[in-house]
Structure 1
Amino acid sequence: AGPAELALCLERGAAPADLAYGNPIKKPRDIAFAFERGVREFTSDSPADVDHLGRYAPGSAVSVRVVLDAPDSVTPFGRKFGCEPAEALDLVLRAAALGLRPGIAFHVGSQQPDVAAWEIGIATAAKLFAEAEAQGVAMTRLNLGGGFATTHRTGVPPLAAYAATITTALGTYFPGRRPELMLEPGRVLVADAGLLRTEVVLVARRGERRWVYLDIGRYNGLAEAENEAIAYRFEPVGAHAGPAGPVVLAGPTCDGDDVLYQRTPYELPLSLRSGDRLDLPGTGAYTASYASVGFNGIEPLRTYCVGRWGNA
């Protein structure tokens, strides 16, 4: 997404040819930074950025990101990224004229449970492939983006269902040929590798509702709880005898927006008290990296890596 992530990948031993600069929002000097280090794969969605790529990353592959009329995901991108298909065709032709190697990219939104969204994207891309070829530009690459969902409180389709839809759509809209595919899975790869443990700071009554305040909130780990989009699981640590009851869950800061869930129904043990702990499974994605660097003086989330290597 930027020079810092590129540098981190290279430090960890990634080959520059294996890296893709997938953020269409980038400064010219950041394009030059990547190109000078061997990156040759970029994504774009605007004329100015395509021009920057032509100047600072000559001859590179560029996937033009098209916006889709597809079902909303749990955390949709809105109109921040992607261009309309007609503009996408113009950008493909513009990129080719600049000596770049154009392809098409789309993203159906993060945490997308509707597998049909990929069929819409592939159909849109196939039409652009055909229109570009009719104007003398033959494209070979299709970036399917990410969005493959992981299970939190509600079930999502298995990866096999996504794969089946994609395979069928490719056969339908690209008959007789198969474009080179790229994918950008994020959450589905790492979410279940992480567990976040939080401590109860306070339990209080606010009118008829029981509020449970945690030592993590929207500003130090749970940014995706904004608008209650991602509903994480909360599991009490240790024994809690007796019944559970409804709660509002909130973070610890002085910000009134630091409320996690007050519409989404949650129940936790009535015995829950200050100092008790809760585990949040499936938090390996978009938690530690989202944490603020010191809002209200709260330090970023500490991360501990626990694993088994070899045959141990």
Structure 2
Amino acid sequence: MSHERIHRFLAEHRPPTPCLVVDTEEVTARVREFASGLPHARLRYAVKANPEPAVLRAVLAAGGGFDVASPAEVTACLDAGAAPEVLSYGSTIKKPADIAFAFGCGVREFTTDAASDVDHLAEHAPGSAVSVRVLVDAPASATPFGRKFGCAPGEAVALLTKAAELGLDPAGLAFHVGSQQLDVTAWEAGISTTAKLFAELAAAGIKPRWLNIGGGFGHSYRESAPPLSAYFAAVRGALDAYFPDSAPELVLEPGRAIVAGAGLIRTEVVLVAWRGEHRWVYLDIGRYNGLAETENEAIHYRLDAAGERGPVVLAGPTCDGDDVLYQHTPCELPLALAPGDRLDILDAGAYTASYSSVSFNGIEPLRTYCLD
């Protein structure tokens, strides 16, 4: 993916490092790629991946909507020009006050996975459309959710039935296969499971209208991810197999796949030191100000720098011992690298600035520039 516009911006403006630069033309292109590959699906961009106003405007201009998880994200999307009808409150963990705020702003779609949350929705978002998130077995992803979200399949029927009894609209079922999912067949288990639940619900007189298959579509970092077309083909195949007569409306919640490739982080080398037999390189960005996804070395970013390379241990700038980016993952940087040199971290548009801390060690959150 070309970063010509980003490099031109960096050359002309030379912003202080570290900084993230996002080309919103790439965001628009990815939203349109989803619309082309799954043309009958509703896309709800996961705002948490990158909530920059210019990113939200680009998603909206390309025809997408938003998956929100807090009052602040609701407000951000509305401020970007979104109508409340294109917002879906996808978090299953929310206070009654959060529900009431979203409902007061016009949001009418919510996801749930617990009986107490259904009670809160009935009280504070009466008549709203509700999807029940189901926990499904899926191949391991780079950043799995474990068992934090989703009810057992057997509970889903009871929860949607309860929602209907309380005056809510039992509109759908939902599942998620984990973030950065590199197995394109991962969605089959969820589609198979929910197809059976659709049949059970129909027998009970409840007819959900949509299936939310979440996000998780992979992006190529140092390891290649399948092309989006492969994910789309696998999803279409599973829908044809398990909903042979009439598939429900499809809802998608991609985040990483929309914005990761649109962003580049420029960082500066702070220190180069030998620790025994290992060359350590310390950057002015680390786990607490933008590279949180290097925890457990889960995401392996590509580093762009010229010159003959050799192995390094890569670390961030803070005085926290856990602020080490790559100690076990092979990482190579130029042998001549010295303090003050600049590096570019590629494919860094997702889950970087939105993860950075407020001021750990007094370091400000990752500064972001968007090219409209």
Match of 1:21 in 2: 89
- Distance in structure 2 (CA, Å) of the matches to 1:141 and 1:58: 20
- Distance in structure 2 (CA, Å) of the matches to 1:57 and 1:27: 12
Tell me, yes or no, if structure 1 residue 51 matches structure 2 residue 116. Answer: no
CA apart distance, 1:37? 1.2
CA apart distance, 1:270? 0.9
- Which consecutive unaligned segments of at least 5 residues does structure 2 have? 1-68
CA apart distance, 1:303? 0.9
Match of 2:34 in 1: none
Tell me the alpha carbon deviations over residues 264-303 of structure 1, each in whole angstroms, 9 at most, x when there is no partner: 0011111011111110111011101111111000011111
- Distance in structure 1 (CA, Å) of the matches to 2:303 and 2:309: 13
Q: Secondary structure at the match of 1:108?
A: coil
Q: Secondary structure at the match of 2:312?
A: strand
- Distance in structure 1 (CA, Å) of the matches to 2:187 and 2:220: 19
Match of 2:224 in 1: 155
Tell me, yes or no, if structure 1 residue 101 matches structure 2 residue 169. Answer: yes
Tell me, yes or no, if structure 1 residue 120 matches structure 2 residue 185. Answer: no
Tell me, yes or no, if structure 1 residue 256 matches structure 2 residue 324. Answer: no
Q: Which of the two has greater helix per residue?
A: 2
- Distance in structure 2 (CA, Å) of the matches to 1:122 and 1:34: 29
Match of 1:293 in 2: 358
- Larger relative CO (CA 8 A, sep 6+): 1 or 2? 2
CA apart distance, 1:141? 1.0
TM-score, L = length of structure 1: 0.95
Q: Which among 249, 267, 276 is matched to residue 198 of structure 1?
A: 267
List, as ranges, runs of 4+ consecutive aligned residues in structure 1 with deviation greater than 4 Å.
Answer: none
Tell me the alpha carbon deviations over residues 235-255 of structure 1, each in whole angstroms, 9 at most, x when there is no partner: 11xx53xx3111110000000
- Distance in structure 1 (CA, Å) of the matches to 2:297 and 2:182: 16
CA apart distance, 1:180? 1.1
Q: Secondary structure at the match of 2:329?
A: strand
CA apart distance, 1:138? 1.2
Match of 2:42 in 1: none
CA apart distance, 1:12? 1.2
Tell me the alpha carbon deviations over residues 43-64 of structure 1, each in whole angstroms, 9 at most, x when there is no partner: 1111111111111111111110
Q: Which among 242, 264, 275 is matched to residue 173 of structure 1?
A: 242
CA apart distance, 1:100? 1.5
Match of 1:61 in 2: 129
Q: Secondary structure at the match of 2:216?
A: coil
Tell me, yes or no, if structure 1 residue 40 matches structure 2 residue 105. Answer: no
Whichever residue aligns with residue 314 of structure 2, its letter is L
- Distance in structure 2 (CA, Å) of the matches to 1:281 and 1:81: 30
- Distance in structure 2 (CA, Å) of the matches to 1:267 and 1:87: 49
Q: Percent identity?
A: 69
Tell me, yes or no, if structure 1 residue 245 matches structure 2 residue 313. Answer: no
Aligned residues: 303
Tell me, yes or no, if structure 1 residue 229 matches structure 2 residue 298. Answer: yes
Whichever residue aligns with residue 302 of structure 1, its letter is R
Tell me, yes or no, if structure 1 residue 213 matches structure 2 residue 279. Answer: no
Q: Which among 245, 267, 270 is matched to residue 335 of structure 2?
A: 270
Match of 1:283 in 2: 348
Whichever residue aligns with residue 165 of structure 2, its letter is A
TM-score, L = length of structure 2: 0.80
Q: What are the residue-to-residue correspondences of 1:81-92 with 2, within 5 Å?
A: 81-92=149-160
CA apart distance, 1:306? 2.4
Tell me the alpha carbon deviations over residues 166-207 of structure 1, each in whole angstroms, 9 at most, x when there is no partner: 111111111111201111010111111110011001011111
- Distance in structure 1 (CA, Å) of the matches to 2:248 and 2:370: 38
Q: Secondary structure at the match of 1:274?
A: coil
Q: CA RMSD in A?
A: 0.9
Whichever residue aligns with residue 67 of structure 1, its letter is L
- Distance in structure 2 (CA, Å) of the matches to 1:99 and 1:117: 34
- Distance in structure 2 (CA, Å) of the matches to 1:283 and 1:59: 40
Q: Secondary structure at the match of 2:88?
A: coil
Q: Secondary structure at the match of 1:63?
A: strand
Q: Secondary structure at the match of 2:250?
A: strand
Match of 1:310 in 2: none
Tell me, yes or no, if structure 1 residue 74 matches structure 2 residue 142. Answer: yes
Whichever residue aligns with residue 255 of structure 1, its letter is D
